[in-house]
Structure 1
């Protein structure tokens, strides 16, 4: 029992130290955000009404927007997505470019059917088979856009990114057109659609995005750090994207990156471009955002999170480094701490298991575990307080976005998120090692779904049903 007690004690100390550092980091972010919100309520919103899509002025220099949609094995969802987008954006000046692969005839056919019905849709077939990286697909869409600009002697004002499963907002085009007058990259909130089939795995994405896009990205912008792109619901100024492309041999998106969307936002900031995260409501009081289904199965969740961890926490370390001032470096550290957080969580659960073994041994009269040291007790108190604060914040943001029922469910979903993070971290390490050895990166797809546009859960505004697209 003494050996078990010694191992359990070391694991506990490591976990408590990690939880304390991470908890203080989160607490500092929360405090800065709360102070900022209080100041804005007292000195800005009390004097000026908040802008909505109803009061948003049209662009002073309106232009045509290009929408990039990479599509690999998306035959079941790309059609409904395009039809819904076209119906939502009836009055906008835009063109949708959909990138497909020669060895995916079903997706080509689905896009071709719609492009024949609506001249705003462009079918782009890559010169090689898929799947490659998403960035590679985006680069070929970029080349198709350049050919259209040359053929028509015009230039697009901005480039919008969307995925094949996105549910877009009707006011998005008008908002992007206006914001491109002032900014070089605009990111709108992403709101996961709740699923009755996966309240725990898919639901934990809703909790995480509610807090990340309700607080974290807003704070990044307020601090003056770069706002990373989410890869959907974002718009880039055309000329600056062209400058980045020139620096990369004609390709704005790095085909060797698993998280090209995250990196492109940081590169825009490095080129002195202005990045912004816009939270605005429409005339009905609903947020102007992009909604989409997130993975519902453990396997798909592990694929997606492992890809994020590999691209941001592992490859991002050596790909984009630690440029910028202390605010930028702090935010990059905050992004990349996920791998260490997974190790800390593993140690915490192992220490908890070890404590259970020690208690069982005491009950069976196998020996008494040594008492906790004074420092360990204080660490337990401090980390417990910080954890309670984190739980309260998670409940608050989930409630604000999805209602009080989902706010309560967010508490047990924290455990699901922790388990997924630990498993995804292990997978990410293997993925990163294989990437270093082979130098080859594959588009590791997850299942995509598009909701049937009627009403997705008991949240407002609701959507119900879905069309499934296997990976």
Structure 2
């Protein structure tokens, strides 16, 4: 450009300034949001309202149940893991009032046979073979299990007290069943923590889930429960009273209590408990050995698998959840639902932040070679940068602390180093979720994009064996 106009460098510096304002404003808002949760959690800890009780694992493992309990496990092409999952659950939970329902499809005989082999003749396993070819949806599979349970209740003249949801790769805790059974007194929904396991062959992608769940189920869910906001179900390690599922069924279209027109039926189910006037509990308890009573699970180890899974969460929770669940109750509920639905915006802000990092690096290099900056940052922008850096340091420490508490300081350090990986996955998942949502508006039904498993946690020595 001529002497009276701006140079390309000056235009780039202007773009940098505007991007800083955009990203800085939302990073600051996010920092304030997380710090508010930190303050609530700290207050709960100081006042003793967020204490973590200790229980006797051996006593709970052999404790009789107050009534019959059903475990629902939907499965599609899970032959590599379902056998060990069933075997482990039946050994960990010896109670005779337990029954495990595994749903598989007519065109997936391998999964059915693997589940049956894992039971080793234990008659507490019930294989439910769907006549339709799979996969349909996870909710549809769950509804088939529910209808089979109802048929068993009629033929056997009994009624189940509660229903637990689990995935085909979960490693259940020996103390969990009796603990949940006791907590169901006066409750309609109980969620225990989920602990993704560190993965030796996927320390950066597969293991990043443990950073998020240690924080979410060690801090956020504790605050959420204390505020009286509706608790989302994680889909594993969660139990619903038989009466509440019956109420859901009455409000459904006749197919069953699980909504087949959402990608995150488990998340929504937890919120619906509150909408129905039911009571929810988040149960965070440690055994006398110091280990958290939790569901230990295996998550995707590849980048593509992690992006698929998280895009489904964002699509179901942020986009479908906004349409289906709306905004209800008071300020605490609005706050939590805003946090749940921030995935798409977070992806945009993170993408802007990384683009800004690349642009700022280039402009900084220009200055190193003796050139004056094209535009100087305003005091406001400088202040936002400083606050953002302080917030990042604090969030890194929080992530380290919660991961280290469950898995040791080495995983705590990796939790900090995995932050860029987590952010990249979130950006890619946000873009994919938006594309999927746009297609759904045109009438395309999103498929059941389940996670493929070729390794079980027990195979890699990642989960402690069941205690007697």
What TM-score, normalized to structure 2?
A: 0.93
1:203-237 Cα deviation digits (max 9, x unpaired): 21111111001111111100000111000011100
Change (3 A) 1:11 1:97: same
The yes-or-no answer on 1:276 pairing with 2:284 is no
Change (3 A) 1:136 1:57: closer
Q: In the alignment, what sits opposite 1:299? A: 304
Change (3 A) 1:349 1:49: closer
The yes-or-no answer on 1:359 pairing with 2:367 is no
CA contact (8 A) 2:63 2:95 kept: no
Q: In the alignment, what sits opposite 1:105? A: 109
1:146-188 Cα deviation digits (max 9, x unpaired): 1001111111000000100000111122112211112110001
Q: In the alignment, what sits opposite 1:163? A: 167
**Superposition map of 1:107-256 within 5 A:** 107-114=111-118, 117-250=121-254, 251-256=256-261
2:42 pairs with one of 22, 34, 41 = 34
Larger CA deviation: 437-446 vs 61-70:
437-446
Query: What CA distance in whole angstroms lies between the structure 2 residues aligned with 1:109 and 1:393?
Result: 44
Q: In the alignment, what sits opposite 1:263? A: 268
Query: What CA distance in whole angstroms lies between the structure 1 residues aligned with 2:348 and 2:28?
Result: 14
CA contact (8 A) 2:58 2:175 kept: no
1:1-30 Cα deviation digits (max 9, x unpaired): 011111111111100001000000000000
Query: What CA distance in whole angstroms lies between the structure 2 residues aligned with 1:423 and 1:357?
Result: 24
CA contact (8 A) 2:263 2:313 kept: yes
Query: What CA distance in whole angstroms lies between the structure 2 residues aligned with 1:198 and 1:58?
Result: 36
1:433 pairs with one of 411, 432, 438 = 438
For residue 111 of structure 1, report the CA deviation from its aligned partner: 2.7
Q: In the alignment, what sits opposite 2:31? A: 23
Larger CA deviation: 377-386 vs 154-163:
377-386
> RMSD in angstroms over aligned alpha carbons?
2.1
Larger CA deviation: 164-173 vs 102-111:
102-111
Query: What CA distance in whole angstroms lies between the structure 1 residues aligned with 2:112 and 2:452?
Result: 18
Query: What CA distance in whole angstroms lies between the structure 2 residues aligned with 1:92 and 1:332?
Result: 40
Q: 5+ unaligned residues in a row in structure 1: which ranges? A: 464-471
Query: What CA distance in whole angstroms lies between the structure 2 residues aligned with 1:101 and 1:221?
Result: 37
For residue 49 of structure 1, report the CA deviation from its aligned partner: 6.9
For residue 114 of structure 1, report the CA deviation from its aligned partner: 4.7
Q: In the alignment, what sits opposite 2:13? A: 5
For residue 253 of structure 1, report the CA deviation from its aligned partner: 0.6
The yes-or-no answer on 1:444 pairing with 2:446 is no
Q: 5+ unaligned residues in a row in structure 2: which ranges? A: 1-8
What TM-score, normalized to structure 1?
A: 0.92
Query: What CA distance in whole angstroms lies between the structure 1 residues aligned with 2:59 and 2:48?
Result: 20
Change (3 A) 1:107 1:377: same
1:350-395 Cα deviation digits (max 9, x unpaired): 1111111212333456663211101111111122221111111111
For residue 54 of structure 1, report the CA deviation from its aligned partner: 6.2
**Superposition map of 1:249-398 within 5 A:** 249-250=253-254, 251-364=256-369, 368-398=373-403
Q: In the alignment, what sits opposite 1:402? A: 407
3-state SS in 1 of match to 2:319: helix
